[in-house]
């Protein structure tokens, strides 16, 4: 009797599994946002080193300067990079006078001689002032959206450098039919953004928008690539030093492994030699 019961339970489970296996797949509805969402396109970056492996590599100083120019002329209208100090820009190849001139274009909060809050011209030691005083002010100015600070953006998103580039080039006019009904008013369709509808108007709109002085192509692609490289530097200014330290550490360990092996041979030489003779 117990056996029959066990058999019935077993049969029930077998039938349930088979039933599940033959159910049509589309019984589970697909999420149209997930279907439309795209992953960043992977391109080659000088800071990823040979083979784009990410083990070695240095920033392309010319590219960083162009990226900074795109940030300054386009993105800074809405986004801050408030973790970067003006003097950090020396890593991009600017000299002291150039940095002073860049800093002088910005105003930072200060206290005047009467002790009243006021502003003064920034110096090399200041950080880039935030674009908005706080999130409420940002949302009030940006139609309810909050343009995030970009200092650490490439670290805050998976595959951040490629993501920023893809996002900037990712605006599409054609909204897929499955999303048309749910398209929010006043947002732009961009399948690289996690929710595919973004509140940021296309910042890089046309070739020729920013004028480069070094003869690089003045194309949307180039702008997006340059600013993504610049934001990689803001997020990790010590990337090159980190990679150098890594290589030095691996070389050191290799040499020490060699020494370790030699001393092992020496320490055991007697015993192993006797064994071989015996």
Q: Which residues bind ligand HEC (CB under 6 A)?
A: 70, 74-75, 77-79, 142, 145, 147-148, 150, 153, 157, 164, 167-168, 193, 198-201, 203-204, 227
In the complex, the smallest distance separating the C-beta of residue 106 from ligand HEC, rounded to whole angstroms, is: 17
CA dist., res. 84 & res. 80, Å (int) = 9
Rounded least distance, CB 143 to ligand HEC, Å: 8
Nearer of residues 73 and 112 to ligand HEC, judged by Cβ = 73
Cα separation, 178 vs 31, whole angstroms: 9
Complex with ligand HEC: residue 48 or 234, whichever CB lies closer: 234
Instruction: Report how far residue 15's alpha carbon sits from residue 25's, in angstroms, rounded to the nearest whole number.
Output: 18
Q: CB-wise, 88 or 225, nearer to ligand HEC?
A: 225
Shortest Å, Cβ 64 to ligand HEC: 14
Burial of 154 (0-12, 13-18, 19+ CB in 10 A): buried
Q: What is the smallest separation between the CB atom of 185 and ligand HEC, expressed in angstroms?
A: 13
Q: Is residue 199 within 8 Å of 185, Cβ to Cβ?
A: no
Q: Looking at beta carbons only, is 57 or 203 nearer to ligand HEC? A: 203
Cα dihedral value 169, 170, 171, 177, nearest 10: 160
Find, among 226, 235, 220, the residue nearest to 170 by Cα: 220
Q: For the purposes of burial, counting CB atoms within 10 Å of the CB of 158, is it exposed (0-12), middle (13-18) or buried (19 or more)? A: exposed
Question: Minimal CB distance to ligand HEC: which residue?
Answer: 75
Nearest-approach distance from CB 193 to ligand HEC, in angstroms = 6
Q: Is the CB of 122 or the CB of 235 nearer to ligand HEC?
A: 235
- CB 226, min distance to ligand HEC, A: 10
Distance between CA 249 and CA 78 in Å, rounded? 41
Residue number, 7 or 133, with CB nearest to ligand HEC:
133
Q: Please state, in angstroms and rounded to a whole number, the distance separating the CA atoms of residues 140 and 146.
A: 9
């Amino acid at each position: 009797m117990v056996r029959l019961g066990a058999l019935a339970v077993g049969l029930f489970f077998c039938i349930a599994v088979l039933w599940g296996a033959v159910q049509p797949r589309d019984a589970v509805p697909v999420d149209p946002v997930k279907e439309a969402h795209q992953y960043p396109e992977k391109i080659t970056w000088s800071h990823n080193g040979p083979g784009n492996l990410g083990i070695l590599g240095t920033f392309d100083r010319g590219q960083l300067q162009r990226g900074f120019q795109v940030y300054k002329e386009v993105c800074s209208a809405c986004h801050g990079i408030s973790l970067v100090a003006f003097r950090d820009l020396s890593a991009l190849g600017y000299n002291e006078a150039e940095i002073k001139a860049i800093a002088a274009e910005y105003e930072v909060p200060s206290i005047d001689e009467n002790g009243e809050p006021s502003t003064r011209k920034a110096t090399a030691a200041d950080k880039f002032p935030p674009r908005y005083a706080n999130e409420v002010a940002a949302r009030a100015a940006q139609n309810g959206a909050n343009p995030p600070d970009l200092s650490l953006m490439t670290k805050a998103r998976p595959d951040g450098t490629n993501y920023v580039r893809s996002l900037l080039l990712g605006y599409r006019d054609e909204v897929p039919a499955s999303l048309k009904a749910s398209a929010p008013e006043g947002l732009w369709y961009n399948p690289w953004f996690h929710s595919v509808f973004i509140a940021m108007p296309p910042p890089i709109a046309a070739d020729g928008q920013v004028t480069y002085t070094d003869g690089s192509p003045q194309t949307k692609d180039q702008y997006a690539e340059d600013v993504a490289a610049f934001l990689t530097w803001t997020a990790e200014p010590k990337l090159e030093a980190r990679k150098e330290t890594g290589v030095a550490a691996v070389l050191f360990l290799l040499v020490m492994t060699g020494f370790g092996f030699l001393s092992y041979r020496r320490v055991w030489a007697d015993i192993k030699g006797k064994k071989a003779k015996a």
